[in-house]
Amino acid sequence: MALDRQAKWVLDISEEKGLPSLDELTPAESKAAYEERALTLTFKDVDIGKSVDIDIPGPLGDIPIRIYHPVGMTSPLPVLVYYHGGGWVVGSRNTHDSLCRLIANAGPFVVVSVDYRMGPEHPFPAAVQDSIAALDWTVENIADHNGIPDKIAVGGDSAGGNLSAVVSLIARDEKSYLPKFQWLIYPATQMEMTTPSHEKFSEGYFLTRPLMEFFQSHYLKNESDRKDWRASPLLAESLAGLPAALVQTAGFDPLQDEAIAYAERMNKEGSEAKHTHYEGMIHGFLNLGGVIDKATDCVNEGVVALREAFSK
């Protein structure tokens, strides 16, 4: 397995510039740094029909969201509720703005991007609570924004993939609105970090072990939270009765083994999961679409899977 040349270029440029890793900064500094860095290599100049920022009610206070209408939208469309990545500490609707625009246009879908609360100011399970509230709000209100209420899916990258999986588990257990589909992009599913891929790719490929420890230390309140299935959905007692999923992984990503294990358990326990692997890619490549071509392939694959799910 060889590292993709474009992914290698990203790693090389980061090293040449001498940028400090986010874990070498304070949480506030890391948030600001990621806001700036995420915009440099993402998809560029993506038009959108309309986007609107609103605050919706949540259990801990108002939750900022951004609703996207694709270019040329003339009638109500299926909906994707999107949870951004960033280790439950960094990231926002702004860092993933171009990506959500692209998804909305490619669908075409209405996309709801959720600015859930993050650590360390709002530790676990605040992000989970906000994510559930955002899905519930979407079910009740998206018709007012030209979305189709009975065609709503969830999706996200990394921490957002984790939240998508957890929201689906909670919806199943609470017998509330069950999303039509889960788009899980290199999701974190187990906080223990003990898999072979965690050992093999712990250094040198952006998502290092110190960075993961930094994220966990500012997201989780204590060690016992690691074993809570709302943080580690792979530890859920059952993965039966869940919405179908597309699970996408990257070849140089420490999270790949736990994501694959999640897909395998879903299939074994009666839910449907398709797993696809981007062999030469690093963690986070989806939001590097300005310089990594495979990011577009990853988006297109997810969009096709969503269309198929919505057509059933």
Residues with catalytic roles? 158, 253, 283
- Residue identified by tokens 């519930």 is 136
- Could you tell me the CA-to-CA distances from 49 to 78, 108, 194 in Å, in that order? 15, 11, 44
Per DSSP, the residues of 206-272 read: SS-HHHHHHHHHHH-SSGGGGGSTTT-GGGSS--TTPPPEEEEEEEE-TTHHHHHHHHHHHHHTT--
Within 10 angstroms of residue 216's Cβ, the number of other Cβ atoms is 21
Residue from 119, 39, 51 nearest 82 by CA: 51
Task: Say whether 274 sits in a helix, a strand or coil.
Answer: strand
How many CB atoms within 10 Å of residue 235?
A: 15
